[in-house]
Amino acid sequence: MAFLTMFQRHLQLRVIALIVAILVLGFGVLVILNIRREAEVLVAGNRETARLLTASIQKSIENGMLEGRPDIIRRLVQELRKELKDVRVLDVYRRNGVEAFSDLETLKEVNLDAALVEQISKMRREPGKKISDPLFARAVETVTPQETYEMASGGRVFTLFRPLENREECQECHGGDHKVRGVVRVSLGLERLDADLRAARNRQLVVALLTILGVTASLVVFLGRVVLRPIALIAAAARRIGGGDFETRLAMQSQHEIGELGRAINGMAGRLKSAHDELEERNTELATTLGNLQESMRRVELLEQVKGELIKFVPESVTRLLEKNPDAREMEKREADVSVLFLDVEGYTRLSEQLPPQRLNRMIQDYFSSFLEIIRAKHGEVNETAGDGLMVIFQSEEGPARHALNAAGAALQLLAKVADLNLEFTGIYPAVAIHVGINSGPALVGATKLDAAGGGRWTFTASGPTTNLAARIAGLTKGGEVMVGSETAERIMDHYVLQDTGEHSLKNVSKPVRVSRLVPPGLYSKVERIV
């Protein structure tokens, strides 16, 4: 950790590290290329040695066969196996894959001197081995040498299969119905080659390492004298200037970039001195400006504080009004045509007796949170929540029919959402049913600030007969029903199916009110009386 901190603070270490990294990368690539080139040369030499050895054996076999002396060929092969140190395998196979010169099959094909045949037949010999290497078959088929590198016990091995062509002079004894008489197989161990490769690699690495160390040492000395020491002097002067000593100057004689930097520092110190004097003269003006700025910031902070609170509890329309006039007590308290939706949970008193308060509260939160998404999608604004109920105000710039349709659509979606939530919360909460009342018409709509000893509170209200009638209509409904007033029914009847329930006498309403039931899709066939 200490080294890391020192590395981060000292430019010299960073520069040296960068140079070393570049050198290591450059020499690394060079060493790799050199090692690869030497390896290619050594491998090519090894391959050429195997080819020459195989060609010599092939020539000896051909000469021996032409002279009718397979016994000489056999001894030659045996001696070569013993004498050649790097040769792991040296075999001669007939075209059928059986080792040659181990039996009398070839003697039977050719006319040799009877005494020689008898002499050869007395030689001790092992049964011929059978080879199944695919490269052997390919050499016989294509009449071309086949090569391969493979791993064996003790290291890598280079193997060469060289076919013995059935030349014209051979056909007198062996016939001309085939192109290949046999195949010579030579396998060379690559232990010495690998040792040479390792030696070359180590040599290259040592040279690269010594070069990197030498170059690095030279650069460290150069950087210390020419670059880092002047930079340290410039840094010290900059710190003094930063501390307020604007009389500090650097004596720079060099003409390169660092000298230019030092002279630029001197010029900067002079300009800072002049600027400091000018700033002192303007402190009074700045103090006045700062006071004005602080007052503006106070108003901004007040606005942001109010906005932050309103986002949680007040409709978006109120938030926009407060951003325009945060000190107002009443904002745009005006008469507007609205659709008011009242929603409450059926049997809330019974649920409060069945469930602990915390669980009941959690259930209401889970259901109402889902309701809010639907209400916002239909451009409704929640006026207030009270236990198990919601009051929602719908407005629209497109006209009275639009917000009535939005309210009706929201009510049907809320019923469907309750059904989905009941399935989702099976076993967690008791099944819930809601009833909804909707009424449309004029109402006094706006935001009001209420002051009290404990602080102020903003409310968004819609008041008047339209709102009161919506609440009374909601009281007529049963679980899973949506009831609408006559004005709302008139506005939505072309888009929804309504069932007339007749006139009803409502509390605190002087005249009977005609109320219709909003029929959900899928239940149209069950409706007896349609408005």
User: CB of 346 within 8 A of CB of 434?
Assistant: yes
3-state SS string over 342-411?
EEEECCHHHHHHHCCHHHHHHHHHHHHHHHHHHHHHCCEEEEEEECCEEEEEECCCCCHHHHHHHHHHHH
Strands 513-518 and 498-504 turn out to be: antiparallel
Q: What φ, ψ does residue 130 adopt, rounded to 5°?
A: -105, 135
Using the CB atoms, write b or e for 107-118: b if 16+ within 10 Å. Answer: beeeebeeeebe
Beta bridge partners of 162: 184
Q: Could you tell me the two tokens for 329?
A: 């007590």
**Which amino acid appears at position 9 of this protein?**
R
Q: What is the pLDDT along the chain (531 residues), one digit of tens a residue?
A: 555 555 455 666 777 777 777 877 777 777 777 777 777 777 777 777 777 777 777 777 766 666 666 666 666 666 666 666 777 777 888 878 777 766 655 555 554 555 555 555 555 455 667 787 888 888 778 888 888 877 777 678 888 888 887 776 665 666 666 777 788 888 877 777 777 777 877 887 888 788 878 877 787 777 766 666 777 777 777 777 777 776 677 766 666 676 677 677 777 777 777 777 777 778 777 778 788 888 888 877 776 776 655 554 555 665 665 566 655 555 667 888 999 999 988 888 888 888 898 998 899 888 888 898 899 999 998 876 666 788 899 998 898 999 999 999 999 999 999 999 999 998 888 988 998 999 999 988 877 666 666 555 666 677 888 888 988 998 888 878 999 999 999 999 999 999 999 999 888 888 899 999 998 876 554 444 444
Beta bridge partners of 386: 389
**Which amino acid appears at position 324 of this protein?**
K
Contacts made by residues 229-236, CB under 8 angstroms, sequence distance 24+: 230/254, 230/258, 230/259, 230/262, 231/11, 231/258, 233/262, 234/258, 234/261, 234/262, 234/265
Q: Distance between CA 50 and CA 5 in Å, rounded?
A: 59
CA distance to 96, 222, 359, 420, 426, per residue, from 429 (Å): 86, 80, 9, 13, 6
Q: Which residues contact 351 (CB under 8 A, 6 or more apart)?
A: 345, 360, 363, 430, 432
